[in-house]
A and B are shown apart, each in its own frame.
Chain A
């Protein structure tokens, strides 16, 4: 950089830098825009409310209705309760390579989960049903820890997502799929 001879020179340099900044910010917009929309993610944003106090009495989140179910039209829905200090159910089977809708809510405090190695991630806020739509690519077990502090038992709160290859995918007569974490 040449020694500064006068203030206008300085302003010219500043202006050039401002152009570089504008360019950098534009690139940033592009990267973020593309990553958000080409990847077509569905963050839980449809604001569906539910009374947390009576979740335990609801039909949709009744004990028998939790877990993975395949509807007659083939749609896969996973219903999960995040409660102190466990996910119900703790083992969640899902078919590989098929769209899965996860519906989850909390009857008590704020929880959250991520499924390691995937982009499934949501907060679970009492008062709302969080809905995550995703497709699981790799078969095998994925850890699903609670990722928001929910009380003293928080560290032990995790579930397992078992991605099953389509050939081995099975459901019972009611369309429910189950799995077990061996002791």
Chain B
């Protein structure tokens, strides 16, 4: 190998404009041809092969995935489908209703109606029966009110109250309570057995139970309507877990809580309730 060997001009490396043009033409022809062949195979030959008796037009529609090009199997079960667990849906309209709500308008309602039990400032007069609402998520309060109204969540006390409200009023009063300042608490992790502490924060892959915090904790990322739990009274939380587990309460869409509560032991439910009851943050 020598650096001074004669450089013979070849098809590549020449400076003929002709070779330049042929480069452009042949690369373009190759690529266009390749795309064309792939399109014919992908849109005509393969769909046609997978089901004989399909005309090319239907085959192309199917390969494009145009809706309606494939038949959807009949669904005899749909006729006798059960009623939804809750009629609240998370749509643009619901979002708009909540974001347009006015906490100021909710004040009067909170004072006149809700305050007697839940407290005007959202701190319940009897937390074992009536949940604290201060700082609760607006979406959660709204959803429960709507479910009391529709009867998807049963309560002799709440049903008539909720039935008297418009959707706007529910959103307003939810905004009002969401804006109230809750007590400064933290989870009572030293008060309960270690296992439940892990269940609340890490979950249990063995039983398919996600951490309670993933939906109910400060950095929650689960369903919109999941309430915050910290600061509710322990007996109240325990009762709700029990109600979900026994299917007495069933306004959780797609059985999200019923499935989990059903798997918790009574001891775990009790300990979790204490954990989320919380303790003063300064402690």
Q: Within the complex, are A and B direct neighbours (CB within 8 Å)?
A: yes
Chain A: residues with CB nearer than 8 A to chain B? Answer: 3-8, 11, 37, 40, 45-49, 53-54, 56-57, 59-60, 62-65, 69, 71-72, 75, 77, 81, 83-86, 88, 90, 101, 103, 107-108, 151-159, 174-176, 181, 183
Mask: chain B, 1-38; 1 = CB below 8 Å from A; 0 = not: 10001111011110000000000000000000000000
**CB-defined contacts of B215 to chain A, threshold 8 Å:** 84-85, 153
B81 within 8 A of partner (CB): yes
Known: A56-B84, A75-B73, A85-B210. A49 touches B67 (CB 8 A): yes
Check if B74 sits within 8 Å of A47, measured CB to CB: no
- Given the known interface contacts A86-B256, A107-B254, A156-B203, the answer about A101 and B210 at a Cβ–Cβ threshold of 8 Å is no
Between A and B, 23 residue pairs with Cβ closer than 8 Å are A6-B6, A7-B7, A7-B8, A37-B50, A46-B65, A47-B65, A53-B92, A56-B86, A56-B89, A60-B81, A63-B85, A84-B222, A86-B260, A90-B259, A151-B222, A152-B219, A152-B222, A153-B210, A155-B203, A155-B205, A156-B210, A175-B76, A183-B263
In the complex with contacts A48-B67, A64-B82, A65-B75, A152-B210 CB distance below 8 A: yes
Contact assessment for A46 and B208 in the assembled complex, using a CB-CB cutoff below 8 Å: no
The answer to whether B221 has its CB under 8 Å from any CB of chain A is yes
Complex interface: chain B residues within 8 A of A40 (CB): 50
A-B contact count (CB 8 A): 154
Query: With A and B bound together, what is the CA distance between A23 and B208 in angstroms?
Result: 49
Query: Are B221 and A152 in contact, with the CB atoms below 8 A?
Result: yes
Q: Are A64 and B80 in contact (CB under 8 A)?
A: yes
Given A7-B7, A85-B222, A56 and B253 contact (CB-CB distance below 8 Å): yes
Task: With CB as the reference atom, state the residue of chain A lying closest to B71.
Answer: A46
- Scoring B residues 131 to 144 as 1 if CB is less than 8 Å from chain A, else 0, what string do you get? 00000000000000
CA A77 to CA B70, docked complex, whole Å: 16
B255 at interface (Cβ–Cβ under 8 A)? yes
Complex Cα gap A13–B225 (Å): 68
A83 & B256 in contact (Cβ 8 Å cutoff) = yes
* Chain A CB within 8 A of B189 CB: no
Q: CB of B78 within 8 A of chain A?
A: yes
| B96 interfacial contact with A, CB 8 Å | no
Give the docked Cα–Cα distance between A11 and B10 (Å): 8
| Partner among B1, B66, B78 whose Cβ is within 8 Å of the Cβ of A62 | B78
Residues of A within 8 A of B85 (CB): 56, 63
Q: How far is the CB of A21 from chain B (nearest CB, A)?
A: 14
Whether A157 contacts B210 by the Cβ 8 Å rule is yes
Q: How far is the CA of A72 from the CA of B76 in the complex (A)?
A: 9
CB distance from B116 to the nearest CB of A (A): 33
Contact assessment for A57 and B69 in the assembled complex, using a CB-CB cutoff below 8 Å: no
Bound CA–CA A154/B222 (angstroms): 10
| 7 A-B pairs closest in CB distance | A153-B210, A47-B65, A152-B214, A62-B81, A64-B82, A153-B214, A151-B221
